[in-house]
């Protein structure tokens, strides 16, 4: 362990929190826990091995087919072509010329710079911000809107209750639940594996202790999820596992029971909501002839009607918090569980009371329900984007495959742009997008694909030009999480690997070639920008009565913890206290259980109030052919796909494959034993995985963690993934025409034991290369 001063100088922090880096002979060799973090993340165990791993992009590289044939959608196959390593001047000249060509021939609206992904946690070296600032100085780009985590909430909730991004910051604190609550009903649980992470970083992991305090104070918890571990064992939560995709039916059975037994709060509904009469008629079967009572709910979700009625009575009798996990919306008709959560909470009449009401998003990260930041830290301005066109974030494959095609979104009739150039920085769509075989085909369509990356992920292998970027530990920055109260220095600990550069350095070099260096850099170095951003942070803190050190002292020190902005926060307490003075930003100013605006859109897949519909795989019969419902979620071993080649991530794999959880009865029926390699497949694709036989998953379900780097076997006609990436199996359909969110949790598969020697996983090794003189380089 380094001495205290060395520990401070070796401070490291990412989206999963801080640590102390060990540096030996100029090499980062390990990361130990930060002494101030009460529950440090083991994801830090990936950093050293990934930074020093064989998958690092060490030099600029150009795809052979693109270099020989020029920009073309048919010049070789992206994903399996080999690369030519070139020097930086060559790479930058090629890229500057190609960017100018696309702008000149097709306009800036032909450039897609959506570049979704978490990237670095640093305030300055945030890849998307750097890329977007650069493209904006050139005249703009087509952007993406929303996110993969909770896009349905971002679009739906403003119509019925308000801005969801505000709501996660305003969520009732777990400490308030511990003091005032009696019952915590968790649809989708509150998985602690997710709470290792927080957008932009965090200083301390607090949620586990806060939930334990709730349990210690006698708050009863109910985990309604197919996965037992979605509630930590020490909480003593009752586990109930409905059929996949049927949470809305269960919620409706609870709601109808409240109505039948006169347990709903009519006074609250009349004073604070609009449209309950429409919902009541639907629940009673007046609109479709089907009463959504507890017996009906049992036929849909498999949970006994008696249990449903008992829980409804308990919820009405106790101070009850309803939690809806963000993952529930990443499914067919994903808007509906959100709307029904709000409806059920409104019927109980406890919204705005300490320990009661609802929260959508507990467990989505390590901050919701425990912390919010007091001030707004400095950030890199992205500038104005002259291009107004955008796509919903989950529709990138649709955009590339269907230029000019119409689609609906949130009441708008839109058309997809004709994209000629894709530029990705700080993300991995071959991790977070669905139906990767379809995405592979989509990535063949643009004329040029550019990727800034530190590792040879599948996205980098689908690029024409790959630019090696420095890792967070190889550049100087500071951390200030989106919803955290800590400011954390992030010094450069080791030199960049190979010829890697920071994104700012790369974009300055490109901007100089394209005549916009002054507009992009404003004449500032990286250090100038960092000091300017820190000065704005100091000024913001001074406005809150907090003194911060100067830049040099801050960077030489440890993390700084500031007060919580609202430690006794109760969601919608002001609205409850005065619904007129604190009216909601909805058309009525109240909670809209029926939305005339949404109803006016005329969407059959998302009408004006919450409705029930079976998942597509159940309603179209495909679940009979692929009988196991597959869920996929954030693993405990990494953030999404970041540092998948790190030691901690690799240590939890089975024979090098991602683990899939399968119930003992489902395994027995298929001759599968714990530790076997299995093949998972459906009509979209196939992958290999390692079987983990456990009763922690409900029967009829399998759970495959996300983030294994996509490793397709191109010799297989199905391009079977060798590594265990679930998105070769998920469909690329949307939640509805309203939000157009991803619906990855509505996949159905079959699983069988793999017989023989499986192909080796290759994606943690670099791709194939050839020498420049082996290619016929195109003329500039």
- The predicted-structure confidence for 639-659, as pLDDT tens digits, reads as follows 999 999 999 999 999 999 999
Q: 709 phi and psi, to 5 degrees?
A: -55, 130
520-525-526 Cα angle (round to 5): 95
Percentages (nearest 5) of helix, strand, coil residues in the chain = 35, 20, 50
**Residue 72, pLDDT score:** 72
For residue 1, pLDDT over 60 is answered with no
479 three-state secondary structure: strand
In whole angstroms, what is the distance from residue 207 CA to residue 185 CA? Answer: 17
Residue given tokens 């849909």 in the structure block? 300
- Report the pLDDT averaged over residues 581-593: 98
- Report the pLDDT averaged over residues 572-583: 98
In whole angstroms, what is the distance from residue 382 CA to residue 362 CA? Answer: 30
For residue 409, pLDDT over 60 is answered with yes
**Residue 603, pLDDT score:** 98
Asked if residue 419 lies in contact with residue 403, where contact means CB atoms within 8 angstroms, the answer is: yes
| Six token digits for residue 178 | 């511990």
- Report the pLDDT averaged over residues 581-606: 98
Beta carbons within 10 angstroms of residue 77's beta carbon: 14
- Report the pLDDT averaged over residues 75-91: 94
Catalytic residue among 118, 296, 705, 709: 118
For residue 8, pLDDT over 60 is answered with no
| Total H helices, total E strands in the chain | 29, 29
Pairing of strands 465-468, 61-63: antiparallel
159-161-162 Cα angle (round to 5): 80
- Report the pLDDT averaged over residues 455-471: 97
- For the entire predicted model, the pTM comes to 0.96
In whole angstroms, what is the distance from residue 458 CA to residue 711 CA? Answer: 7
191-213 pLDDT, tens digit per residue, is 999 999 999 999 999 999 999 99
For residue 438, pLDDT over 50 is answered with yes
For residue 780, pLDDT over 60 is answered with no
**Residue 6, pLDDT score:** 43
For residue 3, pLDDT over 60 is answered with no
Strand positions, DSSP E, 611-746: 628-631, 659-662, 677-681, 686-693, 701-704
H or E element that contains 207: helix 207-216
Band (pLDDT 50/70/90 cuts) for residue 461 is very high
- Report the pLDDT averaged over residues 513-534: 98
H or E element that contains 184: strand 183-187
Band (pLDDT 50/70/90 cuts) for residue 5 is very low
Find how far residue 34's CA is from the centre of its chain. Answer: 25
Is the torsion defined by CA of 273, 274, 280, 283 positive or negative?
negative
**Residue 70, pLDDT score:** 86
116-121-126 Cα angle (round to 5): 55
| Six token digits for residue 8 | 């401070």
132-184 pLDDT, tens digit per residue, is 999 999 999 999 999 999 999 999 999 999 999 999 999 999 999 999 999 99
**Residue 74, pLDDT score:** 59
| Alpha helices (H) along 107-181 | 127-137, 151-160, 164-169, 174-180
Query: Of 339, 344, 355, whose CA–CA distance to 311 is shortest?
Result: 344
In whole angstroms, what is the distance from residue 16 CA to residue 194 CA? Answer: 10
343-378 pLDDT, tens digit per residue, is 999 999 999 999 999 999 999 999 999 999 999 999
Query: Of 633, 618, 613, whose CA–CA distance to 702 is shortest?
Result: 633
User: Is 714 one of the catalytic residues?
Assistant: no
157 three-state secondary structure: helix
Asked if residue 68 lies in contact with residue 775, where contact means CB atoms within 8 angstroms, the answer is: yes
| Six token digits for residue 25 | 């002979």
For residue 2, pLDDT over 60 is answered with no
DSSP conformation letters of 399-427: HHHSTT-EEEETTEEEE-----EEEEES-
For residue 412, pLDDT over 90 is answered with yes
H or E element that contains 570: none
Mean pLDDT for the chain overall: 95
Band (pLDDT 50/70/90 cuts) for residue 599 is very high
- Report the pLDDT averaged over residues 491-520: 98
User: Is 603 one of the catalytic residues?
Assistant: no
301-358 pLDDT, tens digit per residue, is 999 999 999 999 999 999 999 999 999 999 999 999 999 999 999 999 999 999 999 9
Alpha-carbon distances of 520 from 135, 381, 387, 532, 779, rounded to whole Å? 9, 10, 17, 15, 29
Cβ burial of 750 (10 Å; 0-12, 13-18, 19+) is middle
| Six token digits for residue 624 | 């009979």
**Residue 774, pLDDT score:** 67
Q: Considering the chain, what percentage of its residues have pLDDT values greater than 70?
A: 98
Catalytic residue among 16, 66, 88, 116: 116
């Amino acid at each position: 362990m380094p001495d205290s001063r060395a520990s401070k100088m070796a401070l490291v922090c990412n989206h999963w929190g801080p640590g102390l880096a060990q540096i030996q002979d100029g090499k980062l060799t390990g990361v130990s826990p930060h002494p101030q973090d009460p529950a440090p993340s083991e994801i830090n165990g990936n950093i050293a091995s990934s930074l020093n791993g064989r998958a690092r992009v060490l030099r600029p590289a150009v795809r052979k087919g693109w270099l020989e044939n020029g920009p073309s959608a048919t010049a070789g196959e992206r994903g399996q072509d080999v690369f030519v390593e070139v020097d930086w001047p060559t790479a930058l000249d090629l890229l500057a010329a190609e960017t100018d060509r696309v702008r000149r021939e097709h306009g800036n609206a032909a450039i897609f710079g959506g570049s979704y992904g978490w990237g670095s946690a640093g305030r300055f070296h945030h890849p998307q911000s750097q890329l977007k600032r650069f493209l904006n100085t050139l005249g703009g780009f087509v952007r993406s809107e929303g996110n993969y985590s909770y896009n349905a909430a971002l679009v739906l909730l403003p119509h019925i209750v308000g801005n969801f991004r505000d709501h996660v910051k305003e969520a009732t604190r777990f400490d308030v639940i511990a003091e005032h609550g009696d019952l915590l009903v968790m649809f989708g649980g509150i998985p602690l594996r997710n709470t290792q992470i927080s957008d932009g970083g965090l200083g301390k992991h607090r949620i586990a202790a806060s939930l334990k305090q709730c349990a210690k104070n006698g708050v009863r918890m109910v985990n309604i999820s197919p996965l037992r571990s979605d509630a930590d064992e020490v909480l003593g939560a009752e586990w109930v596992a409905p059929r996949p995709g049927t949470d809305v039916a269960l919620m409706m059975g609870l709601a109808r029971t409240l109505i039948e037994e006169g347990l709903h709060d009519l006074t609250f509904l009349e004073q604070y909501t609009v449209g309950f009469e429409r919902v009541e008629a639907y629940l009673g079967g007046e609109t479709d002839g089907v009463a959504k009572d507890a017996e009906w709910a049992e036929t849909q979700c498999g949970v006994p009607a008696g249990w449903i009625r008992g829980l409804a009575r308990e919820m009405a009798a106790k101070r009850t918090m309803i939690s809806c996990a963000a993952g529930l919306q990443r499914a067919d008709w994903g808007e509906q569980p959100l709307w029904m959560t709000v409806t059920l909470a409104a019927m109980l009449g406890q919204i705005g009371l300490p320990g009661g009401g609802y929260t959508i998003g507990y467990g989505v990260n390590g901050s919701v329900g425990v912390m919010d930041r007091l001030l707004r830290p400095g950030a890199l301005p992205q500038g104005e984007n002259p291009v107004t066109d955008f796509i919903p974030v989950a529709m990138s494959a649709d955009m590339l495959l269907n230029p000019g095609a119409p689609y609906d979104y949130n009441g708008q009739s839109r058309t997809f742009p004709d994209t000629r150039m894709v530029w990705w920085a700080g993300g991995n769509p071959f991790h977070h997008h669905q139906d990767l075989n379809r995405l592979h085909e989509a990535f063949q369509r643009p004329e040029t694909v550019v990727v800034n990356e530190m590792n040879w992920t599948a996205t980098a292998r689908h690029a024409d030009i790959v630019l090696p970027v420095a890792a967070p530990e190889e550049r100087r920055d500071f951390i200030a999480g989106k919803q955290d109260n800590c400011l954390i220095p992030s010094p450069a600990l080791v030199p960049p690997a190979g010829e890697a550069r920071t994104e700012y350095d790369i974009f300055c070099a490109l901007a100089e070639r394209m005549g916009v260096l002054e507009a992009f850099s404003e004449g500032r170095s990286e250090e100038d920008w960092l000091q300017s951003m820190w000065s704005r942070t100091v000024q913001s803190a001074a406005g809150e009565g907090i003194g911060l050190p100067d830049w040099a002292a801050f960077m030489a020190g440890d993390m700084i913890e500031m007060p919580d902005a609202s430690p006794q926060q109760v969601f919608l307490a002001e609205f409850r206290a005065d619904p007129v003075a604190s009216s909601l930003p909805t058309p009525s100013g109240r909670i809209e259980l029926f939305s005339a605006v949404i109803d006016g859109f005329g969407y059959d897949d998302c009408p004006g109030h919450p409705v029930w519909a079976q998942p597509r795989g159940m309603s179209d019969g495909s679940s009979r052919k692929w009988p196991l419902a597959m869920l996929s979620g954030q693993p405990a071993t990494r953030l999404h796909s970041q540092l998948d080649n790190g030691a901690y991530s690799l240590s939890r794999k089975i024979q090098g494959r991602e683990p899939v959880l399968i119930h003992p009865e489902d395994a027995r029926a298929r001759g599968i034993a714990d530790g076997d390699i299995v093949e998972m497949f459906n009509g979209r694709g196939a992958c290999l995985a390692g079987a983990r036989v456990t009763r922690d998953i409900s029967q009829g379900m399998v759970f495959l963690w996300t983030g294994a780097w996509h490793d397709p076997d191109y010799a297989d006609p199905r391009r079977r993934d060798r590594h265990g990436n679930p998105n070769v199996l998920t469909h690329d359909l949307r939640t509805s025409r309203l939000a157009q969110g991803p619906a990855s949790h509505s996949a159905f598969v079959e699983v069988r034991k793999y017989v023989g020697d499986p192909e080796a996983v290759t994606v943690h090794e670099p791709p194939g290369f050839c020498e420049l003189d082996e290619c016929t380089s195109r003329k500039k």
